[in-house]
Structure 1
Amino acid sequence: MRHFGSDIVTVADQLTEAYVEVFSGPPWNHRHPADTVDFRRRLVEDAQRPGFRAILSFSDRGEVDGFVTGWPTRPPFRTDRAYGRVLDRLGPDRVEELLVGALEIDELGVRPRARGTGLGRRLLTAFTADAPEGRAWLLTWNQAHDTLAFYRRIGWPEPAPRPGRETDIVVFVSPSP
């Protein structure tokens, strides 16, 4: 596994290729192809965020088999992308308590050929090893059943949504240290 900061742009093409493979297949294949290709643009922008980091796992052939990216969640809590739904689901007070100041896992993916090897768990463990006060969080789509099962199996709890505020995303927080 290799650790990156803003130098992630040196492997942006390789990482984008892996991202497109991971997030173009089921259950993500409902997405428009431009959404996955847009990852490269987002990656270049995200690499400039304060505290951005990434860990990539490479195959023997030098291809990206798995990846994780993220950064500390800083106030004020964002409302673009899916963040507005997180805010609606949990409410401002719980977002402040659980997510602000924690390490946000923005992307975690393992290519199909490397699944079932424990790579996802190893990437997540390495990435969160020095999370602020052991706190990290992520979100995923509620129809990604294998992904939901993975996070539940490794012990990441789900803060309950506010009554009547269920959304198509599910928030997970890291297990207590």
Structure 2
Amino acid sequence: MTEIAPVHGPELITYADELAALLVDTVNGGSSVGFLAPLERDEAAAWWRERAGAVDAGHLQVWIARDAERVTGTIGLVRAALPNARHRAEVTKLMVRPSARGRGLGRSLLDAVERSAAETGVTLLVLDTESGSPAERLYRSAGWTECGSIPEYAGDPAGVLKPTTLYYKPLGPARATPAR
């Protein structure tokens, strides 16, 4: 049984080593999530620990999926900071351990983020992913809309520049923010 739950800053630090193992497996397995291979576990753990402050401040939310033994997946949601953009957020770092793929865990993590975002008044989500990656199938099947591609946007884990595809998903009717 896999449980998906949000984590707070202190919990993120507690799970940093397990999340580091997931990040290392993901990057060294060829998935483009912002890091170059080979990624060392200490570097990955430090990166996760550095996120704890943003989680505590409310700028970042992180969910983890755990089975009885370990962290099997994660996803993040970055809140827009500017006053005219508080209706939107960016989905980041959706990762599923290679041994747990193909069982709907990625979709469950995405659903958890979408529900939480909608509950807190977010009406638009955005994300980017490497063009042609398996993640694109997930996003399309979950109702995300492709809105364009940027050539040579980011390096894959080997450092080769690849195109990135941008996606968005409206969560409800847009609401204007009152003028102050």
Query: Would the TM-score normalized by the shorter structure come out above 0.5?
Result: yes
Q: Decide which of 16, 20, 30 is 1:16's aligned counterpart.
A: 20
1:160 is paired with a residue of what secondary structure? strand
Alpha-carbon displacement from aligned partner over 1:119-142 (angstroms, at most 9, x marks no partner): 111111111213233322221122
C-alpha deviation, 1:5, in angstroms: 2.0
Q: 2:170 matched to 1:170? A: no
2:68 is paired with a residue of what secondary structure? coil
Calculate the TM-score normalised by the size of structure 2.
Answer: 0.71
C-alpha deviation, 1:23, in angstroms: 2.2
Greater shift after overlay, 35-44 or 112-121?
35-44
Counterparts of 2:171 and 2:146, CA distance in 1: 12
Counterparts of 2:75 and 2:142, CA distance in 1: 16
Greater per-residue helix proportion: 1
Calculate the TM-score normalised by the size of structure 1.
Answer: 0.72
Distance 1:69 1:36, change over 3 A: farther
1:109 is paired with a residue of what secondary structure? strand
Distance 1:109 1:151, change over 3 A: same
- Cα RMSD, aligned residues only: 2.8
Unmatched tracts of structure 2, length 5 or more? 154-162, 173-180
Unmatched tracts of structure 1, length 5 or more? 77-95
Letter in 1 for 2:129: T
Q: 2:142 matched to 1:139? A: no
Counterparts of 1:14 and 1:27, CA distance in 2: 18
Q: Decide which of 20, 23, 31 is 2:36's aligned counterpart.
A: 31
Query: Which residue of 2 is the match for residue 92 of structure 1?
Result: none
Distance 1:172 1:67, change over 3 A: same
C-alpha deviation, 1:109, in angstroms: 0.6
Q: Decide which of 36, 43, 50 is 1:45's aligned counterpart.
A: 50
Q: Decide which of 128, 136, 148 is 1:160's aligned counterpart.
A: 148
Distance 1:102 1:37, change over 3 A: farther
Q: 2:82 matched to 1:75? A: yes
Letter in 2 for 1:122: S
Identical residues among aligned pairs (%): 25
1:159 is paired with a residue of what secondary structure? strand
Counterparts of 1:44 and 1:33, CA distance in 2: 20
Greater per-residue strand proportion: 2
Aligned pairs for 1:114-153 (under 5 A) are 114-131=100-117, 132-143=121-132, 145-153=133-141
Q: Decide which of 53, 56, 61 is 2:64's aligned counterpart.
A: 56
Query: Which residue of 2 is the match for residue 86 of structure 1?
Result: none
Distance 1:35 1:17, change over 3 A: closer
Conservation of the 8 A alpha-carbon contact between 1:137 and 1:173: yes
How many residues align structurally? 151
1:10 is paired with a residue of what secondary structure? helix
Conservation of the 8 A alpha-carbon contact between 1:57 and 1:64: yes
